[in-house]
Structures are given as C-alpha cells and as structure tokens.
Structure 1
Amino acid sequence: MDSPSEKRRAAAARSRENADPHENRAPMPKVVLVLVLALVAWGCWYIATAPINSPSELGDRRTEADLQGSGKAGGGVDGAAVFQARCVACHQATGQGLPGVFPPLAGSEWVNGKDAKVAAIVLRGITGKLTVKGTAYNGAMPAFADQLSDAEIAAVLTHARSQWGNTSPAMTEDVVKAARAQTAAMTAPFDGDTALGAPGG
C-alpha cells in the first residue's frame, strides 16, 4: 500500500501534466448561415423557373446531327488521327516524305489528282517506280483496304488534300466505296507508273 507521502507525490505529478487536448466547437457565424440559406433558396428558385425547353444561348450550339457528320466526307472520322497512326512514319508530319525513299504528299499530283485514283492507291497500295513531282521513287506503299474503312480512308485523304499547301476538295466515302468495288479483283498492289498512268487520268 502506498504511503501518504507517495500519494502526495503522485498527485503533484498528475497536477503538473498538461490536460488532454480537445476540439473547441464554435458555432457557424450567423452571417455565413444566412448567406448559405440564401444561395440554396436562389438555386431552388432558378431551377424551378429556368426555361428548360428553350435552346441555350451559350456554349456549343452544334446539334447531334452536326456532331455525327453527314457521312459523306469521312463521316466524322478524325483524318489527322488516322494519318498520325498510319501514314506519318513514311510521309512525315510535314508531308514532305523522305527524300529518295518515300514521296511527299505536299504538292503531290497524285494526292491532288483524280479522286478515284488516289482512293484506289490507298486501298490497294503501290510497288515499283512512282514519279512524284518529277522525282522517281521505288519504295512500296501497303494496301489499306483490309485495315481502314471507307470513312477512315475518306477522312485521311481529306486531311492530306487540305494540308501542306494542298487545296483539293474533300474526299467522300462514296468515292472510296466505288473505288473499292472497282478494284476488288486486284490481288497485288499497283505497279507504280506503269499501272497507274497519269495522276489525273
């Protein structure tokens, strides 16, 4: 059993200890409470009286039909994204290609030539000598008929025909679809200039 002196020392030690911390509770200021209630009331009034059936005067005013596209010039497909994924390695982001290896698209008579012919080139590919802007290239271009849809081919050609100084009309899915049907019997790529003839022919 503790002696009286030990009890006194223990009591003195406890009295020197700091009290356990506790969180002070302060009520929300009345001004803040009134402001919050006013904002809630205004929000309820605004929602209840807003003309929800009227067209918005702000923001993006395009309709669903606008966003879906007409289906004629790429059907809303991002031609730049297709180019980045499928074409940029050879033709480069500048459209200048690689000298002596891959031909340029910038100012190319083939890109800006007959719609059906350039669509057929992308669909079926090319091997052999191809002359572009007076320079002969002997690289090979793969066929994309089995890799890209008509909409994707139309979109990427529309992109190429409007970049790097090119100003040719947009390519349409209808043209690509027709070119796909016309070249369906092909089992090998075009043999360059020999098979393609003139760009506009």
Structure 2
Amino acid sequence: MATQAPPPTPAQLREEAEPTERSQPIPLIVAGITLAMVLAGAGYILFSEPFGAPALGDQRTVADLSGPPVGAAVDGKQVYTANCVACHQATGAGLPNVFPPLDGSEWVTGEPRVLANILLHGVTGELTVKGATYKGAMPSFAQLGDAELAAVASYVRASWSNKAEPVDAELVAAERKAVVRDKPFNGDAELKTLAAGGN
C-alpha cells in the first residue's frame, strides 16, 4: 500500500515556484537596453583613436618630462618662480617691511659680482634697498648650478623696470671658487666691502 505525502505546511504554501526562462522570460525592454549598451561600448572602442581623444589627459611629452638637454639655455624666469617668487613676488616688489624689492634694487642692478655672491652665500642682518632698511635673512642658493644662478640673476637684472646687463655662468663659477664663506654676508657693510673689490 503506497504512502501518501504529508500535506504542505503554511510556510510551504507561501513559497512560489522557481522562475524558469519559459515561464518568466527577461522583459524585452531590459534585453533591448542591455544590447544597446553593449553595441554602444563596442562602437566607441572600434571608432575612437588608439590613445583616446587628444584633448583629454596629460599632454606632456617625453621631452617635456626629461627637462632641458645638457648645454641648453636655462630659463631664468622658471628658476625665479621656483625659488624666489614666494618672498620677492612675481612683480619683483617684495613685501613691504618684510622682503626687499628686486625691482629697482641697487644690489640687483649694480655690480654683477655682488649679486652672484648674494645668491651663492645669502644675506642676513640690516640691508638697505631703495632707502628702506630690511632686517631678515636670505638663504644661500649655492645648491643651484652656475648656469641656473646666472639665468636667475640675468632675469631679475632685466625684468620689471631693471635694465642691467646679463650675468654669465663663468662669473658665477669664478665667484663660487674665489669667495669661500660658511655664513651669509652681514648686511650692507659686508656687501659694500665686496662691491669695493674685497671678499
């Protein structure tokens, strides 16, 4: 005699049958949207340029990233922007009572040897520029190469209202060897001695 299956419980009665492709297929609209997206993506890949649109992304070339070739001229404005603009400002006007101006400065447009030594060794103490006295410190930039120092010196000597002649790298190299110091120049007094031909 065959045994009869027990009647379903209330929980089993609440369960619905597993869906199948035949009884509940994917709605046509969903299938259509999916197909359209796949075709659009494939078309974009096939018809776009190999490296994407030229207007997008980093446009620098290998030459841009490798810097100037050895022996190429150094851009004095670029050196100034990287090292000097925070204090002396893009206008060369400095900050009143804090950082002296380079525009119209007698130390900038005067003896090129003095400016080369200021860049190489720095200045501390009282410094008079255009009749105003500044008390502060300018660090040495001896870590920069002779060509870089000559370029930035030439840039500040010919920028804004300054019209002085450029400084060449040979002068900077000669001053680096001739004037040996382990501390900055002490303001006006030592710079005037240097301008008069001393060390």
Same fold, judged at TM 0.5 (above): yes
2:140 pairs with 1:163: no
C-alpha separation in 2, matches of 1:193 and 1:133: 12
Does 1 or 2 have the higher relative contact order (CA < 8 Å, sep 6+)? 1
Secondary structure of the corresponding residue to residue 139 of structure 1: strand
Runs of 4+ in 1 over 6 A off after TM superposition: none
- Residue aligning to 1:188: 183
Q: Give, as a single letter, the amino acid of the residue that structure 1 aligns with 2:94.
A: G
- Residue aligning to 1:62: none
C-alpha separation in 1, matches of 2:126 and 2:188: 6
Identity over aligned residues, as a percent?
Answer: 51
Structure-to-structure mapping, 1:90-109, within 5 angstroms: 90-109=87-106
- Residue aligning to 1:16: none
Do the aligned residues in 2 keep the contact of 1:116 with 1:179 (CA within 8 Å)? yes
Do the aligned residues in 1 keep the contact of 2:120 with 2:141 (CA within 8 Å)? yes
- 1:85 aligned to which of 67, 77, 82: 82
C-alpha separation in 2, matches of 1:198 and 1:107: 21
- 2:148 aligned to which of 147, 152, 157: 152
- Residue aligning to 1:29: none
1:198 CA drift (Å): 6.6
Q: TM-score, normalised by structure 2?
A: 0.61
C-alpha separation in 2, matches of 1:114 and 1:199: 9
1:94 CA drift (Å): 0.3
Secondary structure of the corresponding residue to residue 110 of structure 1: helix
Do the aligned residues in 1 keep the contact of 2:120 with 2:140 (CA within 8 Å)? yes
- RMSD of Structure 2 on Structure 1 (CA): 1.9
Structure-to-structure mapping, 1:62-73, within 5 angstroms: none
Secondary structure of the corresponding residue to residue 158 of structure 2: coil
- Residue aligning to 1:178: 174
Structure-to-structure mapping, 1:18-57, within 5 angstroms: none
C-alpha separation in 1, matches of 2:100 and 2:121: 17
1:116 CA drift (Å): 0.8
2:80 pairs with 1:118: no
1:68 CA drift (Å): 7.3
Do the aligned residues in 2 keep the contact of 1:109 with 1:199 (CA within 8 Å)? no
1:197 CA drift (Å): 1.3
Q: Report how many aligned residue pairs link the two structures.
A: 129
C-alpha separation in 1, matches of 2:184 and 2:195: 19
C-alpha separation in 1, matches of 2:104 and 2:150: 19
Q: What residue ranges of structure 1 are gaps of 5+ in the alignment? A: 1-66
Q: TM-score, normalised by structure 1?
A: 0.61
With over 3 angstroms needed to count, the CA separation of the structure-2 counterparts of 1:106 and 1:199, relative to structure 1, is farther
Secondary structure of the corresponding residue to residue 128 of structure 2: strand
